Structure 1
Amino acid sequence: MPLAKDLLHPSPEEEKRKHKKKRLVQSPNSYFMDVKCPGCYKITTVFSHAQTVVLCVGCSTVLCQPTGGKARLTEGKWCTNVVIWGFEFVF
């Protein structure tokens, strides 16, 4: 009787939906991102699941607000690159 799905080679979408400790290779859901302020153009590193309000170093404007899970970027702010497990992704 063959299995309905391959347990050794799960699809990336299926792995993403699983709990971080139930994946084939454990990996966190969080990451660090560089957020650029549109007012003073300074870059601030922000944790994706920040639990406090993150302010810009230069002009003290609010960059992101905490929610129940991931932090929400304020309107007009944009992320320049994301670092996940030491790998940097540039947008």
Structure 2
Amino acid sequence: RCQLAGSELGGNMPLAKDLLHSSPEEEKRKCKKKCLVQSPNSYFMDVKCPGCYKITTVFSHAQTVVLCVGCSTVLCQPTGGKERLTEGCSFRRKQH
């Protein structure tokens, strides 16, 4: 029989990553399914039009072009995931 030393069996070797106590920054970068506590990555936000300063509520992962209610300016354009804000638009993430 072959005998292995304790260190070769993985006796008290520390893990490369602590899976239970990962940093908040690391958790944010993970997929919504692989996080320790599952939560959606999407949110609603208030977008302010740079022309008429009206505020429109937009979903972060919307799949259509969002126009301003007042002046019909394009506020957001869809990408594969999150919406891309038009240059000059400011936004604030809504509290749930």
- TM-score bin, normalised by smaller chain: 0.7 to 0.9
Q: Distance in 2 between matches of 1:6 and 1:17?
A: 16
SS state at 2:25 partner: helix
Q: Which residue of 1 aligns with 2:21?
A: 9
| 8 A Cα contact 2:45 2:94, kept in partner | no
Higher strand share: 1
Indicate the percent of aligned positions where both proteins have the same amino acid.
90
SS state at 1:34 partner: strand
Greater CA radius of gyration, 1 or 2? 2
8-17 vs 36-45, which moves further = 8-17
Q: Distance in 2 between matches of 1:89 and 1:34?
A: 7
Q: Distance in 1 between matches of 2:16 and 2:82?
A: 34
CA RMSD of aligned residues (A): 2.5
- TM-aligned CA distance change 1:54 to 1:38, over 3 Å: same
14-23 vs 34-43, which moves further = 14-23
Q: Distance in 2 between matches of 1:22 and 1:73?
A: 28
Relative to the length of structure 1, the TM-score reads 0.75
| 8 A Cα contact 2:46 2:94, kept in partner | no
- Number of positions where the alignment pairs a residue of Structure 1 with one of Structure 2: 80
